[in-house]
Amino acid sequence: GQNIDQPTEMTATEGAIVQINCTYQTSGFNGLFWYQQHAGEAPTFLSYNVLDGLEEKGRFSSFLSRSKGYSYLLLKELQMKDSASYLCAVRDTIYKLIFGTGTLLAVQP
Amino acid sequence: DTEVTQTPKHLVMGMTNKKSLKCEQHMGHRAMYWYKQKAKKPPELMFVYSYEKLSINESVPSRFSPECPNSSLLNLHLHALQPEDSALYLCASSQDGGGSYGYTFGSGTRLTVV
């Protein structure tokens, strides 16, 4: 089966740093993506990892360990607009992107 | 043009109705996808079209019928739906398997079956 797990909800303070974890067990692995989704809107692409290590893009960083089936998304200098759902997604075959359970992040003043 | 356009944005239909959802992209992407998303749940893959051919059907009931008339257009035909089919239907596209940029999603059609 396919399992991609994330914490359901997280709360953080404006200006702080938050780490959202994702663990996965899938039949194949061709890369891991992080998406942001505001309520009622389309998911938007944040980051991509296919090799082990850290990828940094501005305030967002993502880490992957393929041997552990583990990734995290790190958000720095949190802003109120970062309140959203964060979706971890694994591409198991070249055309099949499977989403994790999603983490709803609330940023408080 | 870097968008995936979905119409209509909202749709209410009865269980005996036939309706269609439309998705369009002009980015030259050759793979297109339909996802279903229930409230507070992640998107679930329904269908994948690759080079205008159906390549993945995730055991979706036959009351959902996809169609890809050309490389820019993807339709989802709906017939005899059930109230539990009410959800946000997302279309996405990618260049082949998505490379390092993943998929581009449309803003979705919010479907309510009454």
CB contact under 8 A, A87 and B90: no
Q: Higher-confidence residue: A94 or B71?
A: B71
**Stretch B31-37: mean pLDDT:** 96
* CA closest to A9 among chain B residues: B40
CB contact under 8 A, B97 and A48: no
Q: What is the pLDDT of residue A21?
A: 98
pLDDT exceeds cutoff 70 at B84: yes
> What does the angle CA B44 – CA B58 – CA B6 come to, to the nearest 5 degrees?
55
Q: What is the pLDDT of residue B80?
A: 95
Using alpha carbons, select from B47, B106, B42, B57 the residue that is nearest to residue A34. Answer: B42
Q: What is the pLDDT of residue B92?
A: 95
Full pLDDT tens readout for chain A, 109 residues: 789 999 999 999 999 999 999 999 999 999 999 999 998 888 999 999 999 999 998 999 999 999 999 999 999 999 999 999 999 999 988 788 999 999 999 999 9
Interface-testing mutation among B41, B105, B112, with chain A (most A C-beta atoms within 10 A): B105
Distance between CA atoms of residues A44 and B107, nearest Å: 10
Q: What is the pLDDT of residue B1?
A: 66
pLDDT in tens, A54-71: 999 899 999 999 999 999
> For residue B43, what are the CA distances in angstroms to A58, A89, B23, B96, B110?
26, 10, 17, 20, 13
* CA closest to A5 among chain B residues: B42
pLDDT exceeds cutoff 90 at B62: yes
User: Which residue matches tokens 């239907």?
Assistant: B89
Contacts of A81 (CB under 8 A, 6+ apart): none
Q: What is the pLDDT of residue B102?
A: 81
Distance between CA atoms of residues A98 and A42, nearest Å: 16
Q: What is the pLDDT of residue B72?
A: 95
**Stretch B60-84: mean pLDDT:** 96
Q: Is B96 left (phi over 0), alpha (psi -120 to 50) or beta?
A: left
Strand residues in chain B grouped as ranges (E): 4-7, 10-13, 18-25, 31-37, 44-50, 53-57, 64-70, 73-79, 87-94, 104-105, 109-113
Closest-CA distance of chain B to residue A8, Å: 10
- Give me the residue from B42, B50, B105 closest to A42, CB to CB: B105
Distance between CA atoms of residues A103 and A22, nearest Å: 9
- Give me the residue from A45, A91, A101 closest to B42, CB to CB: A101
